[in-house]
Amino acid sequence: MTTPFPFTAVVGQDDLRLALLLNAVSPAVGGVLVRGEKGTAKSTAVRALSALVPEVDVVAGCRFSCAPGAPDPACPDGPHEAGTGTRRPARMVELPVGASEDRLVGALDIERALAEGVKAFEPGLLADAHRGILYVDEVNLLHDHLVDLLLDAAAMGASYVEREGVSVRHAARFLLVGTMNPEEGELRPQLLDRFGLTVEVAASREPDQRVEVVRRRLAYDDDPDGFAARWSGEESAVRARIAAARELLPSVRLGDGPLRQIAATCAAFEVDGMRADIVMARTATALAAWAGRTEVLAEDVRQAALLALPHRRRRNPFDAPGLDEDRLDETLEEFGDGSGGQDTPDAPDTPDDDTDPDPDGPGGGRPPADGPEGPEGGESPDSGEGDGGQDSGEVPAQGEPAEGGRAPGAGAGERAPARAAEPFRTKVLSVPGLGEGAAGRRSRARTEHGRTTGSRRPRGALTKLHLAATVRAAAPHQRARGRSGPGLVVRRDDLRQATREGREGNLVLFVVDASGSMAARQRMSAVKGAVLSLLLDAYQRRDKVGLVTFRGSAAEVALPPTSSVDAAAVRLESLPTGGRTPLAAGLLRAHEVLRVERLRDPARRALVVVVTDGRATGGPEPVVLAGRAARLFAAGRIASVVVDCESGPVRLGLAGRLAGELGGTAVTLDELRADSIAGLVRDVQGDGRRAA
């Protein structure tokens, strides 16, 4: 087994290390979500934590890690008599993104059921993780059915399995740690709230610190055992400090003053529910124990807020997580007067963090800078500073010219980006027929998870056994096969695969008209609001999205197909308008994007959303060319819908004609709203075959 990278050898990333250590001190904090760009030691730090977590006492032979002093009375391996057990290291269990439901929660032991005729339960990863750490890398890519199971287990502290005649309940209390790259899509709000703390990580921009990272990584790769041995002293010191903090934790006092500051902070930032208050209280208590104190101070409350609140104050997936630290300080100061406890009415014990000479001593919340760690203080430059991620041509919103004006430096006929109108809940647009794409929430599909609709002979490897159908197929042949015992004699030809129906995620490709005919400020604002609303719907339904825009003389792919819906929202916000309307170019570019994406992911069906007033100008015979391009979608049976943006008392109905050429349907901006009187949920026209 490969020697893990030492936790204390991780350079910088102070907030990440602190959040992990606080959960090691107090698992009741509720876990950590680590968000950040690739290559920032997220997984390395999490995997290294398991070596520092204290060992646990377990009942010998119990597959569900029951504690000897208080065994679970409902343990499937029980009943256990209270007494002595054995000690073993706390487990770090990794949940793969593509794991099956059976692998997570456990299932009937099919082999024993068929061969011996007995019902036996085979535990899953939730049982393995009990009283340990459950780690999910790329947690934002986890399938919805697994997310639902995690939510249930996290809420109840137990896993309930009801399937194939097996009814089992076992304890499942674990420290949930997840890592994710926001560029690949966001996390469902329900699961996001289950993480006690969140940390944003980024690579350091300091050359000295980057040099130290490379130096240590190379040293570890050359000699993992030798490198770990050099850090063993620091690892032992942190392990002992965690154990001491755990012992001190029950003695830590959370006074009325800090408790009022916690409540006031959560109210000031308008977080939903009461879980944030509870997590902040537990985090502040753990911070005090980590610092060796028995009293929670205002600085503990401040640090707890920075770790526990950023991910809870998001109102939609396009909001960046984070806190206004000036507002936080004002709130703490307002509710801190006379709140330090009965013996400290003046509450003067809030030292300045910048003047604390010992960041690890009382009043310090940072993890230890042990041993030859080199450059410390892994604060990366503020992610909000600099314009490295912005398009050079983007015009700041506050610098927009007056209505109808041009952007500074814009070409002829080009206008500054209009702000999007307020988003709204949209009608459901789905691809007709039955697909076989990735799990999601938009269109009907044959999936590995969902309601069982029947059975069939397996094509290739058996992945989901339909037990009843298999037994029915094997039953008539038992006498001919010479069955004499309780077991069922089953042959390969008897096996039946369960067919299930659920929902899939689609590729929603937006083709947006940004020409001069759409450039009226109020009108373009409404169009952007509609597209933003559809993006929100795509986020909730776990779709991939892409964005093609056309104006002037050409079309461009503003955003290739991606799972990051918020990236599409950013591109949409900075979209300028003006010029002619090359509708044919936009449709042809969209068709090419779908062709390439079909090669990459042939099972994912596409839904094309064309946002236009239907006009086509520029070049010879623009209307004829647009019709030819549209008929390519109809010939390929690609599901499509046209959002008709035409306004005014006189309407030409061009968008409706375009929808007819595409083989799809048209809806107006008003009809797109879910609360519109215009009709019921609309499915896009088509014959249900796999689209691009």
| CB 612 within 8 Å of CB 669 | no
Q: What stretches of 189-274 show up as alpha helix (H) in DSSP?
A: 189-192, 207-222, 224-230, 232-248, 256-268
Distance CA 7, CA 17 (A): 8
Catalytic residue among 275, 313, 406, 521: 275
Distance CA 29, CA 107 (A): 30
Cis-peptide, bond into residue 79, ω within 30° of zero: yes
Residue 683 burial (CB count, 10 A) = 18
Distance CA 580, CA 568 (A): 23
Q: Strand 451-456 and strand 158-163: pairing?
A: unpaired
State whether residue 680 is helix, strand or coil: coil
Distance CA 472, CA 553 (A): 65
Q: Is 204 exposed, middle or buried (0-12, 13-18, 19+ CB in 10 A)?
A: buried
Distance CA 465, CA 283 (A): 45
Whether 275 sits among the annotated catalytic residues: the reply is yes
Place of tokens 């807020």: 305
CA distance to 328, 411, 419, 612, per residue, from 520 (Å): 41, 17, 12, 13
CA distance to 44, 144, 182, 225, 510, per residue, from 537 (Å): 35, 16, 18, 50, 13
C-alpha torsion 11→13→16→22, nearest 10? 70
| CB 574 within 8 Å of CB 528 | no
For residue 176, the 8-state DSSP code is: E
State whether residue 435 is helix, strand or coil: strand
The residues annotated with a catalytic role in the active site are 275
